[in-house]
Amino acid sequence: MTTVQNILVSGATGLIGKPLCAALKLRGHTVRTLSRSPAGDVQWNLAKGRLDRDAMDGVDVVIHLAGESVVQRWTTAAKQRIIRSRTQSAALLIEAILQQSKHPAFISASGISYYGIEREVIVDESSSMGAGFLADVTRQWEGVAQPLIEADVRTAFMRTGIVLSGQGGALAKMLTPFRLGLGGRIGNGQQQMSWISLPDLVQAYIFAVENESLCGAINAVAPMPVSNAEFTATLGKVLGRPTVFPMPAAIVKMIFGEMGEETVLSNLAVRPQRLTELGFEWQHPELESALLAVIH
């Protein structure tokens, strides 16, 4: 039987947060949302470092999803915003957690970009940190939680791959050109992509909430990474469209700059070792079934 828990969620209106909150409620959990606007159950002001005084009252688990999108041109100012939005918000929550007599668990979004841009072998949670801006972002983001770990508070980092959803994220941006028959592989198409369907990611977070043995780094990806060429061909098959218009790597770099190099051109095959060991069951372990499930 599932133990009912009181859960505080930041980023509750986002691509992951909205279905996650709904799914948690269906499981019988009590969910409170954290927001900058009065629409949330709990308010915070990151610019002023303020969090409602009673934000953590009765909270068993904090799920931290908030953070500025990395999908933008990485100017110096943008990079600072991306880092600050994650580290400052996490620090505010962590300070409040440590002030409680009973410390809530802390489950934070993170990214497989921790492992870098280019890895020649499959990586898992035991693998070393890689190079690149996003790797440094995840290092700093996760590093803020070190005081929780030292205080023996259950802390988990959900290192997430490409989230497949027809409602937002990378896949949603691909759908229009692919439906018009203008899709194709990116670069040479050999770069490995580690992905997860949105429904499976939601279930992975619920799994993390309900399993007290789950802590540390967790690779939130499907068990079968694919090459960009395979991803492209499978998406074309699902949509019933040709995929004969490749985008050269040089064009990606010209349009998106450093962001393009570290995202769509990165080569990361990531194994979800910890979820597998703990018995998590994917609804969509294979790409085609995942795409069929999330494209409407």
Residue 256's pLDDT is what? 83
Average pLDDT over residues 217-235: 97
- Residue pLDDT, tens place only, 83-128: 999 999 999 999 999 999 999 999 999 999 999 999 999 999 999 9
Distance CA(110)–CA(158), nearest Å, equals 5
Candidates 3.40.50.720, 3.30.420.40, 3.30.450.30, 3.40.50.300; correct CATH number of 6-294? Answer: 3.40.50.720
Burial 19-33 (b: 16+ CB within 10 A, else e): bbbebbeeeebebbb
- Residue pLDDT, tens place only, 13-40: 999 999 999 999 999 999 999 988 887 8
3-state class of 266 per DSSP?
coil
- Residue pLDDT, tens place only, 41-51: 999 998 888 99
Angle, helices 228-239 vs 287-294, to 10°: value is 50
Closest CA to 164 of 194, 193, 203, 197: 197
Average pLDDT over residues 8-15: 95
Answer whether residue 1 shows pLDDT above 60. no
Answer whether residue 134 shows pLDDT above 90. yes
Name the residue type at position 61.
V
Closest CA to 81 of 91, 90, 92, 70: 70
DSSP of 137-193, one letter per residue? HHHHHHHTTHHHHHTT--EEEEEE-EEE-TTSHHHHHHHHHHHTT----BTTS-SEE
Q: How high is the mean pLDDT of the chain?
A: 95
Helix (H) or strand (E) segment spanning residue 58: none
Distance CA(266)–CA(27), nearest Å, equals 36
Helix locations, the chain, DSSP H: 17-26, 76-98, 133-143, 146-150, 169-179, 198-210, 228-239, 249-256, 258-262, 273-277, 287-294
Q: For residue 7, how far is the Cα from the chain centroid?
A: 18
Closest CA to 43 of 14, 10, 65: 10
What is residue 5's DSSP assignment?
-
What does R_g of the chain's alpha carbons equal in angstroms?
19
Residue 71's pLDDT is what? 86
Distance CA(62)–CA(64), nearest Å, equals 6
Phi, psi (degrees; rounded to nearest 5) at 157: -120, 115
Could you identify the residue written with the tokens 């999108």? 69
Dihedral sign for Cα atoms in the order 43, 44, 45, 49: positive
- Residue pLDDT, tens place only, 169-192: 889 989 999 999 999 999 999 999
Answer whether residue 296 shows pLDDT above 80. no
